[in-house]
Chain A
C-alpha cells in the first residue's frame, strides 16, 4: 500500500448539509454482489431532479476533489457510497464535517476526508464554481488545503492521518499481524470461552 501525503486536482462542489448515503447512492443500486459500475449512479435521483446538479455539469469533468458541507455521508453504512466516489475518480473530500462511518469507509479506500470551517469551505466552493479549472492541493500531512487565494487549515483524525502518510490506511494486514494477541484477548472473554 502506498503512502498518501497530498492530493492535487480540480474540485467538484456539492452543496448541502446532511447529504446522506441514500442520496449519494440510492438503495436500488445495492442490488448487486459487486461494486462494479456504481460510479454511474452517484446522486442519481438528485441529478435527475436537478439538471444543473454538479455531477451533471461537464465543467467538472475529471475533478478529483469533492467539496461538501456539514455531516456529509450520514445515515446508512453502505460502503457503496464511497466505492462509487472512488470509482468515479474522487481522491479526496474536503468538507465541514462527515459522519463517522462514512469517514472510516472512505479512509479504507484511500480517500482522506478533510474537515474545515464553514467560511473556508464556502469560499472554496464559490471559487471552484467560478473557476472549475482551479487546482486544489490538499496536504494530508499538514492539513493545509490551498486553491488560488483560498487557504485553510483543515483536519483529519490523527490516527487516520498517520495511517495515510505511513501507507497503512488499509488495516487488514496490521490486524492479522501478531494474531496470538487476538487469541489471548478472546480467551480472556467469558462469553467466548463459556461462562
Chain B
C-alpha cells in the first residue's frame, strides 16, 4: 500500500533531525558550472572533503556556447567558469565531461545526459542545483532541484535536510490525438492545477496515456513538474523503463541487470498505494497548447480564446487581449531545444515538419540538441541537413536560449516560439522579450509559417500524422 515515493524516501532516510526534518541520503548528485563554484569554495573554507566523490557527476550546459564549442571558448566568462569546474572536479576526484576534454563527447544538458548514460536509475534519490532535476523522475527516481548551499551539503555529506512531501497521483487516460504531445499534456496539467498547485507535493504521473509513452516523453512531463510548483515528479518504472536502461554505460549487465530489474519492480508503487490527492485527465480532450502569458500556467488550446479572467500584467507584457487568440501571432524567433524538449525524438518530430520546406524569411530559427550524443544520433539520421536546408541554425549542445546565459538571446520585444519550459519575463535574455511555450512540432510549424499555427493543419497539408 506504499507509493514509490515513500519506499524510496524510507530507503534513503538516515534519521530524523532535531529540527524535525529528515536527513536523506542522495544516491546521485549532478553538478554544472553555474550553481557549484560557490559550493566548492565553502567546502574549501571549512576544510571539508567530498564524502562520496564517486556519486557526483559534472558537466557544463548553462553558460556553454553552442555556436562553437572549441576551447578556449570565445566567451571569456564561459571559459573561466568551465575552467573553475574542471579544477574543482580534479581537486575532489569527481567525474566531469566538458568539451575539449577526455570524455567530452558525453557533454550535454545535465538532465539529458543523466538518463542517456544510465546514471539515472529507478529507486534513486537524485539532486542537482537546477530546478528541472525533476526530469529524472521519468525513470522512477525521486529527483529534485536544490540551491548552492545544499550542493555544498551534498558534497560534504551526500545528504540533505528535507521536509517530507505529500504525493498527488495524476492519471492521464486515453489516446492523444495526432499533433498532440507530452508537452501539451504537461502544459494542460499545469494550467489545471496552477503554478503553485504542486507546492508540498511530489507528482506521480500514471494512467494509460503515460503507460504508452516513451521515456523521452515521460521526461518532458516530469521536467515541468516544478513549473506546477511540485519539486519532484515521477513515473513508476515498467518494461519501457527497463528496456530504455538496458545497455547504457552506467547500467549493470548480465545477471546483475536482472537483479536490478527485480529491485526496480519492487520499488514501484503498490497497486493499492494510498495518495494524498488524486487528479484525472482525459487525453482525448487535450489540444496542442500554447502559453499566452508570463508563467507556464497561462496557456490555451490552439483553437481557444484567451479567457476573460486573464491577468492584466501578463496581457500587457505580451501584447494580447482578453478574448484574443495566440494562433496567428507573428513570431521572430523559433527555438527547439532545452532539457524539456531537446532530445532525439523531439528533433525528429520537428524535422518531419520542416523537411523540404523553409523557415519564413523574417524568422530566426535554431535547433540546439540537448547533448552531444543527441547531436550524433541526429547526424546519423541526417537531421542537421534537413534543418539547415530549411534555414535553421544547427548548434552544439547546451541550454542556450532557454535561459540565455550564453550569447543566444532575444532582442527587444521579439516573440519566440519556444520548446523550452519557462515564459517568465526576461527569461530568454531580453527584459522585454516574449516567449510562447509549445511542443517542438508546434515550434517547427510556427517557424515555417512565420506565425503560430495549428500543427495539425500543417501535418494534414504535408500528409503526416
Contact = CB atoms under 8 A, between A and B. Distances in A.
A, B co-complexed: yes
Interface of A: 16, 18, 20, 22-23, 26-28, 30-35, 45-46, 48-49, 70-71, 74-80, 82-83, 97, 99-101, 104-105, 108-109, 157-160, 162-163, 166, 168, 170-172, 174-176, 178-179, 181-182, 185-186, 188-192, 194-195
A34 B365 CA distance: 34
A190 B12 CA distance: 12
B424 A75 contact: yes
A195 B255 CA distance: 9
Contact of B426 (A32, A45, A182): A45
B238 to A, nearest CB: 18
A71 B195 contact: yes
Interface string B186-204: 0000000001100110000
Interface string B71-99: 00000011011001000000000000000
Interface string B236-262: 000000000000000010001101100
Interface stretch (B121-129, B276-284, B323-331): B121-129
Interface residues of B, number: 80
A35 B131 contact: no
A44 B317 CA distance: 17
5 contacts: A18-B195, A30-B35, A74-B229, A79-B147, A163-B19
B19 A23 contact: no
A70 B158 contact: no
B321 interface: no
Contact of A181 (B11, B15, B123): B15
A186 B52 contact: yes
B301 interface: no
A187 to B, nearest CB: 10
Nearest to B55: A192
Given A76-B131, A189-B25, A191-B260, A179 B81 contact: no
Given A23-B424, A195-B263, A182 B252 contact: no
A147 to B, nearest CB: 26
A104 B131 contact: no
Interface of B: 11-15, 17-21, 23, 25, 27, 34-35, 37-38, 41, 46, 48, 51-52, 55, 62-63, 77-78, 80-81, 84, 121, 123-124, 129-131, 144-150, 152-153, 156-163, 195-196, 199-200, 226-227, 229, 231, 252, 256-257, 259-260, 263, 295, 313, 403-405, 422, 424-427, 429, 431-432
A99 B197 CA distance: 10
A162 B35 CA distance: 28
Closest 3 CB pairs of A and B: A79-B147, A105-B147, A45-B431
A171 B405 contact: no
Given A71-B229, A186-B158, A27 B18 contact: no
The winner among B41, B51, B62, B131 for most chain A CB atoms within 10 A is B131
Contacts of B15: 178, 181
Contacts of A79: 35, 38, 129, 147-149
B159 A195 contact: no
Contact of A189 (B11, B21, B157): B11
Given A74-B195, A190-B260, 11 more contacts: A20-B295, A28-B404, A100-B229, A105-B149, A157-B163, A172-B157, A175-B159, A178-B15, A191-B123, A192-B27, A195-B256
A31 B81 contact: yes
A46 B426 CA distance: 9
Contacts of B52: 186
Given A22-B425, A28-B405, A35 B38 contact: yes
Contacts of A181: 14-15
B27 A159 contact: no
A108 B252 contact: no
Contact of A77 (B131, B163, B227): B131
B63 A171 contact: no
Nearest to A171: B161
A171 B156 contact: no
Given A31-B63, A195-B257, A175 B157 contact: yes
Nearest to A34: B38
The winner among B124, B147, B152 for most chain A CB atoms within 10 A is B147
